[in-house]
Structure 1
Amino acid sequence: MNPTSERRLLAILLRLSNALSLTAMFAIVKIATAHGVTLFENVFYRQLFALPLVAGLVVAGPGIRSVKTRRPWAHVWRTGLGMVGMGLNFTTYTLLPIAEATVILFTVPIFATILSALVLKEPVGRHRCGAVILGFIGVLIVVQPGGSTLSGKGVAVGLMASIAVSAINITLRQIGRTESATTTVFWFTIMSALPMALLMPFFGKAHDAPTYGLLIALGLLGGLSQLTSTASLRLAPVSVVLPIDYSSLIWSALAGWLLFATLPSPHLWLGAPLIIASGLYIVYREHKLHLEQTASAVAND
């Protein structure tokens, strides 16, 4: 096996670990909420207990000096978006069955394509437009407007979460031109955990030991998901690792069955393949366009 193949295999395994840790994290959010943990507390403990993992990665890797930045306001903006996105994600999983929430959030590539056209003025050809339409057809099949048992509020919050995550992805793409992924993760964790810690005396509550155990696991899994996601993208192209994210549907369906005694609806299995196909095709087209632009730049050099 050549080094490139080994890096891609490791990237895929890391991305699979990311999908599993995210599913477990969202399941814990759902359980913790049932134990009386508020949204504010879930977000705070997610960041607080992720901080040792993130800081440890920086210290053991490039060193603390590597996180020095000349773009503090870009990180402030990214942190604000990240907190909104995390809050909406967590709320989606508390309002919807875990498998349905996961599928709704698969619409991120669809909204990222729309925002890229509107905000970055990137050209979107007929292929990606067709993929966006296909994805929305899949969403309509899953949510069954007018005849669904799903919470309308949950679906609305889930779509808002997808839009927020899409905006985060675009922001990360812009910040990534000058900042490393490790630097971005570090400042996001610091800038969110510290201000929230100051507000905990006003918004925090006392919980029993098992609930605090859930919150510690929530933070550790959140930190693990960030690190494995970042590492996978360093080892292989997005087009290689991103399809692994869709394995979350399998893990969330199992978690829903084992932990919450819920099974995905038949409509989910009809609509999810369309949403997944839409996302994969968008990634494929972006990868193909990137290769064409690179080849053109090399030819003109």
Structure 2
Amino acid sequence: MRLLSSSTPLSRPAAGIVFVLAGVTAISVNDMLIKQLSGGYPLHQMIFVRSLIGLIFMLFLVHFEGGWTILKTRRPILHVVRCVMVLIANMSFFTALAVVPLADATALFFVAPLLITLLSIPILGEKVGPWRLGAVGIGFCGVVLMMQPWKTDLQIEGGRAVLILPVIGAAAYAMMQVLTRKLGVASKASALAVYLQSGFLIVSIGFFLVAGDGRYADSFDNASLQFLLRAWVWPPEEDVYWFVALGLCSGVVGYTMSQAYRIADAATIAPFEYIGLPLAVFWGWLMFGELPAPVVFGGIGLIVGGGLLVFLREHQKQRKLALATKIGRR
């Protein structure tokens, strides 16, 4: 019997897939709420509220996963780098949401699972065979199809430069989740989430102290920059419920995604984040009347197909491993 040491990564792909699907579902609701509120509130105010509620939720889970002692870490620098990465990812993506359709921004952001799969090879030493690499290729083709780079008549406020923001966010997000896998060997999911929520709180408070009165917002005509820099507003009662929902989503996302990437290979579960694409299309249509062109649905089919290919391959590998183990014990 082989015992896992404190430096041996966990390997529970099925559970990791379940957690990542739950997390991505919560992310899709979170993104919809951010876009819903982006017309009247600054981004840093929404980040502050969602992080405060999410942190309270996470501290409650810390109690059940081992108490305050699990918040201690021997690798504080890596945790800080992870927080910086997720801050860049969120701020970049949410800023783009102010002017980019939800499904389009999400499609751009979904270069992240491709990058996670690839980064897991040199950073984590994970083995990615031809099946999973092929699935990544299929998913990448779907992203390209959705983005339609051959179109030259794209009209978007702020110009094409705004489309770079979700890609920057995707690169930072990919690095963050790879670090989650690396740090998750010794840290519980709730502790990982507490570090992130605390980082969000610190940055949002900093934004409030510097630009919370909206002094810089009028200097820009760009809607994304105004979203980032406008003054804090006390929400009316009907919007309070949106903010509470945003905070609850933040808590769910922080825990489930941290748990997913700490217990399963990043390259295995990353493609399942693609379920966020059809969810983004759904929310965009339901809440904002945004419906992608038919070619985009073809891209979603390729992306989801790539994720399913990874799942089927992983299931096959687990069956073979279980059979080999059973035979070896006879």
Q: Bin the TM-score by the shorter chain.
A: 0.7 to 0.9
Give the deviation of 1:171 after TM superposition: 0.8
Q: 1:229 to 1:112 in 2, by over 3 A?
A: closer
SS in 2 for 1:50: helix
Deviations 1:178-208 (A, max 9, x none): 2222221122222331353254232222333
Tell me the equivalent position of 1:274: 302
Tell me the equivalent position of 2:59: 55
Counterpart pick for 1:25 among 27, 30, 33: 30
Contact persistence 2:106–2:280 (CA under 8 A):
yes
Tell me the equivalent position of 1:200: 208
Counterpart pick for 1:160 among 163, 168, 173: 168
2:104 pairs with 1:100: yes
Q: 2 CA distance for matches of 1:130 and 1:237? A: 17
AA of the residue aligned to 2:276: S
Give the deviation of 1:216 after TM superposition: 3.4
Contact persistence 1:43–1:87 (CA under 8 A):
no
Counterpart pick for 1:259 among 268, 279, 287: 287
Counterpart pick for 1:145 among 137, 146, 149: 149
What TM-score, normalized by structure 1, do the two folds share? Answer: 0.78
Give the deviation of 1:14 after TM superposition: 6.0
Give the deviation of 1:174 after TM superposition: 1.1
Q: 2 CA distance for matches of 1:242 and 1:128? A: 11
2:92 pairs with 1:65: no
AA of the residue aligned to 1:277: G
Which moves more between the two structures, 131-140 or 150-159?
Answer: 150-159
Contact persistence 1:99–1:253 (CA under 8 A):
yes
Q: 1 CA distance for matches of 2:242 and 2:114? A: 33
Identity rate of aligned residues, in percent?
A: 27
Q: 2 CA distance for matches of 1:10 and 1:166? A: 20
Q: 1:38 to 1:84 in 2, by over 3 A?
A: same
Q: 2 CA distance for matches of 1:24 and 1:202? A: 29
Which moves more between the two structures, 97-106 or 281-290?
Answer: 281-290
Give the deviation of 1:27 after TM superposition: 0.9
Tell me the equivalent position of 1:179: 187
Q: 2 CA distance for matches of 1:260 and 1:21? A: 18
Higher helix share: 1
Question: What is the root-mean-square deviation in Å for CA atoms of aligned residues?
Answer: 3.9
Q: 1:54 to 1:159 in 2, by over 3 A?
A: same
Tell me the equivalent position of 2:198: 190
Contact persistence 1:239–1:284 (CA under 8 A):
no
Give the deviation of 1:255 after TM superposition: 1.6
Tell me the equivalent position of 2:88: 84
Q: 2 CA distance for matches of 1:127 and 1:175? A: 27
Q: 1 CA distance for matches of 2:260 and 2:188? A: 14
SS in 2 for 1:263: coil
Tell me the equivalent position of 2:217: none
Deviations 1:132-171 (A, max 9, x none): 4333322221111141557633442222222211111111
